[in-house]
Amino acid sequence: MDTTVTRSGLEGVVVADTRLSEVDGERGRLVVAGHDIEGLAGGTSFEALAELLWTGALPQAGAQGRTREALAEGRARAFARLEAAGPGRFADGMDALRATTAQLAADDGFDTPAALTGAVAVFAAAWARVRAGGRPVAPDRSLPHAADYLRMIEGEAPTPARAAALEAYLVTVADHGMNASTFAARVVASTGSDPVSAIVAAIGALKGPLHGGAPGPVLDMLDAIGEPDQAAQWVEAELAAGRRIMGMGHRIYRVRDPRAAVLEAALGRLEQAGVTGGRLALARAVERAAEGALRAKYPDRALAANVEFYTAVLLDAVGLGRTAFSPTFAVGRVAGWCAHVLEQRATGRLIRPASRYVGPPG
């Protein structure tokens, strides 16, 4: 077969038709199942967003509780299997999440989006709790998913403002086109394998610093810079040393990632409620400096803030430790992974690309 590898990152290669989300990189737009992300993140619950992804429609008035109950049931079921999983033995939250999720079995009830989405929240929270020296906290069925996630980490129900900020984040990151972890989940689903295996593969892909592993390093960067007037000098030195600026650039967007603005707005609401991590002004200065320096270095390739940049600032303000950032990304994104698994299975088509042999002739 005579094929030529022209895009080893598969950029621009369409591998699926999807009804789930559209990423418009030129205009900086994200549409989730027919709804702009700006509207969704402004007040849609995580439960409603999950239902939108899993069924194609936001819940009708009066039917709001269905997904909430299913998620609560998923959390309870996962917690019942937690002790054996022992997330605390892992230093890294994504390692723990991958290992604990891998212990589940689809034929033990973990074959639905709600069961898996519930489980990821329980395991991510248990890891954060245990690493902080506590014991895992059982889920509370009466709470919404976002608030219960924070409660399972902290041991007490969060204030409405902090729960709302986290919920805006989870909604914002729940789905985003054919990103690397979603593709990984779809590849596994396409083989006819089970949903647990697909989600475990996706967690592994999300761990990487070029995908979901960036927000922790973004906060490290802000700490290293310290003051807004140091931003330009610091960024220049990083670029001169050949290092990447975390939280900047994107495979698809040629303008600022729309999710950065959505999260910045959520941060503003949080500040109005009197909750702040104290880093928003610094983050804005670093973003300006990084955008300018990257424009000077790559005049033909627009590199602007991506979702991870303000994820770091928002989750820090919500009160999460930086090691919990990537697992928390998974808590939101798992809703999208599950929807893509359903969509991929419905096609019945195995994903199996080709490679070009460049080794010695036989």
Binding mask 192-211 for ligand COA (x = CB under 6 A): ------------------x-
| Residue 307 near ligand COA by CB under 6 A | yes
Rg of the chain (C-alpha set): 20
Rounded to a whole number of angstroms, the minimum distance from the CB of residue 162 to ligand COA is 24
- Name the one residue in this structure whose structure tokens are 């960067």: 221
H/E stretch holding 270 reads helix 258-272
Residues in the chain: 362
**Residue 203: CB minimum distance to ligand COA, A:** 16
Nearest 5°: the CA angle 246, 21, 5 is 65
DSSP 210: T
Of the candidates 47, 175, 287, 308, which one interacts with ligand COA according to CB under 6 A?
Answer: 308
**308 catalytically annotated:** yes
For ligand COA, which residue has the nearest CB?
249
The answer to whether 301 contacts ligand COA (rule: CB under 6 A) is yes
Least distance from ligand COA to the Cβ atom of residue 254, Å: 9
The DSSP output letter for 305 is B
Match 């489980």 to its residue by tokens.
119
Residue (173 or 188) nearer to ligand COA, CB: 173
Catalytic residue, chosen from 51, 167, 264, 308, is 308
Q: Phi/psi zone of residue 62: left (φ > 0), alpha (ψ -120 to 50 degrees), beta? A: left
Inter-CA distances, 315 with 58, 134, 169, 233, 249, Å: 26, 20, 8, 26, 20
311 binds ligand COA (CB under 6 A): no
State how far the Cα of 174 lies from the Cα of 53, in Å rounded to an integer: 9
**In whole angstroms, how close is the CB of 124 to ligand COA at the nearest point?**
19
* Dist CA 239 CA 293 (whole Å): 8
Selection from 160, 139, 170, 179 nearest residue 48 by Cα: 170
330 binds ligand COA (CB under 6 A): no
Q: CA-based diameter of the chain, in Å?
A: 69
Structure tokens at 107: 């034929």
Of 249, 327, 332, 336, the residue at the interface with ligand COA (CB under 6 A) is 249
| Binding status of residue 303 toward ligand COA by CB under 6 A | yes
Considering the complex, what minimum distance in angstroms separates the CB of residue 250 from ligand COA?
5
The answer to whether residue 340 is catalytic is: no
- Considering the rule CB under 6 A, would residue 247 count as an interface residue with ligand COA? yes
| 306: contact with ligand COA by CB under 6 A | yes
Choose which of 251, 254, 284, 288 interacts with ligand COA (CB under 6 A): 251
* Distance (Å, whole) CA 73 – CA 113: 12
Given 145, 176, 211, 250, which residue is catalytic?
Answer: 250
Under rule CB under 6 A, residue 10 binds ligand COA: no
Among positions 214, 262, 280, 304, the unique one binding ligand COA when judged by CB under 6 A: 214
Q: Among all residues, which ones are annotated catalytic?
A: 250, 308
Binding site for ligand COA (CB under 6 A): 9, 210, 214, 244-251, 298, 301, 303, 306-308
